Chains A and B, each alone.
Chain A
Amino acid sequence: MSRDRGAPVVAEPREVVSAEGLEVRYHGPQPAVAGVDLTLAPGGGLLVAGAEAAGKTSLLRGLLGLTPAGGRVRVLAEPPGRPAALRRVGYGPQGQGFAGGLAAGELVRVVARLRGASDPGATARAALERAGLGGAERLRGSALGLEEARRLSLALAIAGEPALLVLDDPWEFPETVAEIELARERGGAVIVASRDGAALAPFLGRTLLLVDGVPAG
């Protein structure tokens, strides 16, 4: 397993993520997330904590443009959802149903190719190895247990050395901690959403606690 700890993240903007008055609204009058201000510089880390349904995943989706977000939001100097920025974001989704019928290796390879990896196959194999899924390349997503699915989510996030790592409900594997540290050492930023991320908090530096979609305190 080889890691290029010295590879710099090129030409990062001063703030990898900036949000003023971030709001995510689905249906109905009550926003899922409101009033979130945050900045994340290169090398920075942020734990988004909160109880179930506090708005953690909605916040991440709003930043990524997966759901419409209000407020002044920039990710890698672009508004949410812009392809040029997203290709430099490593997103590890929550849950275990995200494989879409693909094998673990296929899925990571496709995502690596979408992110512009020059050798998606090698990138995928390395990411799976680093996430502790080295032997599961050919396993279909539906055949993975929950722990394996969480490792696959980690592999998807780290494939291609992204400038911003976004982990939704990661399990606290040693590999998770190692990848958070590695990403920050390389100058990448990391956002982790977790209901109980106490074990990850020391590796992220800052914590944003959400209560009913609003920052606490």
Chain B
Amino acid sequence: MSARGLAALVAAELGALARRRWVGGVVAAGLAVAVAVAALAASESGQARDDDFRAGAASLLLLGGLVMAVGLGSAALNREADSGHLGLLAAAGPGRATLAGAAIAARAAALVATLAVWGAAVQVGSLALGRGLDGPLAVHTAAGAENMLLTLLAAAAVSSVVGPVSSSLVGLAVYVLAQAVVNLEAAADQGLIGTSEAGVRAAYLVLPRLVVSPMIFLLQAREEAGPAAPPVEINGTTVFVPASAWATVAWTLCWCAGIAAVAAVGLRRRTLA
């Protein structure tokens, strides 16, 4: 199909997403939290102000990002396949992979746009606190966006065959798995795994990994990251999860591309109403 047709599909899907009440509600709630984070940090000073502000912002990006990623990804294909919308579009000529790709691309764009808006809001908060623009927080926002993209795509990939609740659980499971892989690799590096180390190394090489930003590594190491990165302990020993190397950033992007491809072909055999 033509690029204009594909662009029309993505634009229409984005427009429909922007009008969904829950999407607007989550974006607005995130902005309100960003204001609250800055206001709470304003009551502190020095390092405590910086830590409170960054931990609050990171928590917003994590928890709000997960809500958006799971909410958008889990209903990427199933609802519209059942409602007759995808069938109507499929009967107009685009291939099913194109339809699925457009639906998922629109949702990914909506997720990234939401995180960008929240990221901009916390930067405004940083300016308002007199901290200037926060570069490490901007890097953390980008890292978080990649992690949330992985979650969204995992949920979307299975949404061609199962309902929204099951898709949500798969998305969350992939997020947890990717976090666990990184945590266990860090533990192995510290010699805390014992006889299972070979399995942990193999899992780290094969499975998707969450991207850990330098900012969150420093906050977690000082146990100041809050809900965004609680301390990790194995057998009573604290595990320091280091910031990701570029190889992990690239590896996770490869996983995103692979899952997106699975999602695009997953619609092929489904009956469309």
Residues of A in contact with B (beta carbons under 8 Å apart): 26, 61, 64-68, 81, 83-84, 86-87, 89, 91, 93-95, 97-102, 106-107, 109-111, 113-116, 120, 140, 156, 166
Contact = CB atoms under 8 A, between A and B. Distances in A.
Given A89-B91, A102-B12, A111-B89, 19 more contacts: A66-B87, A66-B273, A67-B271, A83-B95, A89-B92, A93-B88, A95-B84, A98-B87, A98-B88, A110-B8, A110-B9, A111-B88, A111-B92, A113-B8, A114-B1, A114-B8, A114-B89, A115-B93, A116-B93
B271 A100 contact: no
Contacts of B84: 93-95, 97-98
Contacts of A89: 91-92
A164 B12 CA distance: 25
B1 A83 contact: yes
A114 B85 contact: no
Counting from the closest, the 10 A-B pairs by CB-CB distance are A100-B85, A101-B16, A98-B84, A87-B93, A114-B92, A91-B91, A86-B93, A67-B271, A97-B83, A66-B272
A107 B88 CA distance: 10
Nearest to A142: B19
Contacts of A65: 90
Contacts of A67: 271-272
Q: Is the interface of B mostly helix, strand, loop or mixed?
A: helix
A114 B15 CA distance: 17
Contact of B90 (A66, A94, A115, A120): A66
B81 to A, nearest CB: 10
A140 B15 CA distance: 11
Contact of B16 (A64, A81, A87, A102): A102
A26 B271 contact: yes
Chain B interface residue bracket vs A: 20 to 34
A68 B1 CA distance: 22
A115 to B, nearest CB: 5
B271 A61 contact: yes
Given A87-B92, A91-B91, A101-B20, A114 B12 contact: no
Contacts of B8: 109-110, 113-114, 120
24 contacts: A26-B271, A61-B272, A65-B90, A66-B91, A66-B273, A67-B272, A68-B271, A81-B90, A83-B1, A83-B93, A83-B94, A86-B91, A86-B93, A97-B83, A97-B84, A98-B84, A99-B85, A100-B13, A100-B86, A102-B16, A106-B12, A111-B92, A114-B89, A166-B91
Of the candidates B84, B92, B94, B273, the one having the most CB atoms from chain A within 10 angstroms of its own CB is B92
A110 B1 CA distance: 13
Contacts of B20: 101
A140 B18 CA distance: 13
Contacts of A98: 83-85, 87-88
Nearest to B79: A100
B83 A114 contact: no
